[in-house]
């Protein structure tokens, strides 16, 4: 009898269903509590939005059960809770934006299922290394094309084609991770060989350091051409971490830090809006900054301080005072209404999501899947750190979104595609372990 015939029943399906139902309850519950806190009654659109969440979440769960039954059961439910909480906060801030976000949640869930359908085995992506890399690079640089690129809030990240406006760099980050996983898997042995250096600090030959320098150049291109420090940091950090995972050489982390520090200094000296953000980071609460360049950060600090330990309650704070609270500063809005405990819970959800993703990378026995899972998880982790660190003044503020939580169609759809790939790698890793037993 073949192995396929005796393949055991997929484990933890009951756990996956229970977690999905819990995510649905928490998502709809947060939305209801916002309505009660804001207007003193259950929102009139509870049937519409509750139905979207119920149908969407259960549809995604059934798709995972059918298409990736051996996947890690906590991945989708964790992202679903973050999505639901983000929707509740966006509804709290702006009802019209919430209607748009609900539409994008539906599109994102369809993209999630569509990715599972199209990518029935993550290893099939390994055959399109340079095609995927070129597509990612084109999307990354698309906003600088005259006529369609748009500059908003000092950063040129948007593309407008007819009535549609989107941020192509969000999808580009997923394609670039796939490309890097494939490329580094093929070149890992060459990149790991140290042929020169000083003392115990050993490095590969100069020709094999080329990819690191190319990645540095690409991040500088994003910084200088699109004026976006956050995206530049994100892309370069992803590459350096994936290079380190592929080679296990700490020298790459050191070189990467030096190169990024150099690029950051160049950005600080070249662009006034970068200097303004650094000044706001350092002096946001100074009297002359509170009403000027530091106003946004100062209001975020005041809001989170007002929230205290348990927050003012969903729908009962004043997060609308914070400019762009639904995008860049949604973490501060959560801090005001759910307090320190609420923000800690959100961060723990991201820890679970990233940790489970890294666990998938560890369990994967083939190089491409290991690097792909590590890269996708790193993307979520670094992006979360960049925006949360900016809002809490750990680092200068950069214009990236909080994954699954912030308002934005491009970000939400691309993150659901990223999640689907992570689910696919998880399923493949589990099937591999079963086939070897």
158 lies in a domain?
yes
Question: What integer pLDDT is reported at residue 285 of this predicted model?
Answer: 86
Question: What integer pLDDT is reported at residue 212 of this predicted model?
Answer: 58
Range of the domain at 25: 13-436
How confident is residue 4, by pLDDT bands cut at 50, 70 and 90?
Answer: very low
DSSP class per residue in 181-244:
HHHHHHHHHHHH---EEETTEEE--GGGGHHHHHHHHHHHHHHHHS--HHHHHHHHHHHHHHHH
Question: What integer pLDDT is reported at residue 31 of this predicted model?
Answer: 95
- pLDDT tens, position by position, 377-427: 999 999 999 999 989 988 888 777 899 999 988 999 999 999 999 999 999
430 vs 350, more confident: 350
**pTM (2 d.p.):** 0.90
Question: What integer pLDDT is reported at residue 286 of this predicted model?
Answer: 85
Whether the Cβ atoms of residue 364 and residue 337 lie closer than 8 Å to each other: no
Quick one: average pLDDT of 199-210?
59
375 lies in a domain?
yes
Q: What share of the chain is helix, strand, coil (3-state, %, to 5)?
A: 75, 5, 25
382 lies in a domain?
yes
Q: Please name the residues in contact with 34: beta carbons below 8 A apart, sequence gap of 6 or more.
A: 43, 88, 89, 91, 92, 314, 315
Domain count for the chain, please give it.
1
Alpha carbons within 13 angstroms on the beta-carbon side of residue 203 total 16
Angle between helices 409-436 and 75-93 (to 10 degrees): 170
Q: Under DSSP, is residue 147 helix (H, G, I), strand (E, B) or coil?
A: coil
Percent of the chain with pLDDT over 70: 85
DSSP class per residue in 114-134:
HHHHH-SSGGGGGGGHHHHHH
2 lies in a domain?
no
Paired residues of 198 in beta bridges? 201
113 lies in a domain?
yes
Residue of 265, 238, 263, 264 lying closest to 253 (CA atoms): 238
- pLDDT tens, position by position, 120-173: 999 999 999 889 988 888 888 888 777 787 776 666 677 888 777 788 888 988
7 lies in a domain?
no
3 lies in a domain?
no
172 lies in a domain?
yes
């Amino acid at each position: 009898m073949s192995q396929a015939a005796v393949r055991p029943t997929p484990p933890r399906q009951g756990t996956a269903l229970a977690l999905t139902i819990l995510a649905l309850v928490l998502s709809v519950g947060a939305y209801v509590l916002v309505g009660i806190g804001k207007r003193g009654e259950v929102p009139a659109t509870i049937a519409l939005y509750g139905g979207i969440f119920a149908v969407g979440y259960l549809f995604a769960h059934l798709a995972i059960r059918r298409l990736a039954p051996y996947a890690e059961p906590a991945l989708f439910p964790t992202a679903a809770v973050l999505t639901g909480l983000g929707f509740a906060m966006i509804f709290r801030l702006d009802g019209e934006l919430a209607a748009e976000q609900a539409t994008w949640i539906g599109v994102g869930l369809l993209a999630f299922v569509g990715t599972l359908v199209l990518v029935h085995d993550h290893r099939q992506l390994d055959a399109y290394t340079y095609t995927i890399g070129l597509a990612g690079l084109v999307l990354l640089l698309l906003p600088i094309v005259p006529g369609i690129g748009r500059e908003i809030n000092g950063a040129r990240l948007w593309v407008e084609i007819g009535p549609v406006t989107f941020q192509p760099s969000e999808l580009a980050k997923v394609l670039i991770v796939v490309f890097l996983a494939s490329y580094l898997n093929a070149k890992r042995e060459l990149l790991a060989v140290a042929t020169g250096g000083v003392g115990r600090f050993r490095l590969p030959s100069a020709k094999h350091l080329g990819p690191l320098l190319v990645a540095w150049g690409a991040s500088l291109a994003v910084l200088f051409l699109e004026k976006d420090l956050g995206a530049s940091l994100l892309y370069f950090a992803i590459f350096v971490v994936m290079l380190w995972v592929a080679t296990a050489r700490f020298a790459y982390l050191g070189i990467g830090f030096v190169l990024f520090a150099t690029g950051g200094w160049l950005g600080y000296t070249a662009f006034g809006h970068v200097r303004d953000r650094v000044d706001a980071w350092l002096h946001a609460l100074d009297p002359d900054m509170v009403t000027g360049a530091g106003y946004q950060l100062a209001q975020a600090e005041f809001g989170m301080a007002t929230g205290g330990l348990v927050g003012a309650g969903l729908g009962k704070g004043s997060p609308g005072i914070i400019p762009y609270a639904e995008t860049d500063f949604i973490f501060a809005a959560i801090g005001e209404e759910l307090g320190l405990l609420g923000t800690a819970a959100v961060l723990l959800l991201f820890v679970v999501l990233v940790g489970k993703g890294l666990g998938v990378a560890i369990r994967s026995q083939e190089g491409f899947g290991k690097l792909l899972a590590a890269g996708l998880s790193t993307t979520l982790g670094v992006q979360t750190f960049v925006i949360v660190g900016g809002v809490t003044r750990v680092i200068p503020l950069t214009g990236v979104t909080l994954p699954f939580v912030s308002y934005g169609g491009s970000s939400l759809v691309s993150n659901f595609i990223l999640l689907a790939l992570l689910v696919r790698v998880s399923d493949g890793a589990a099937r591999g372990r079963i086939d070897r037993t």
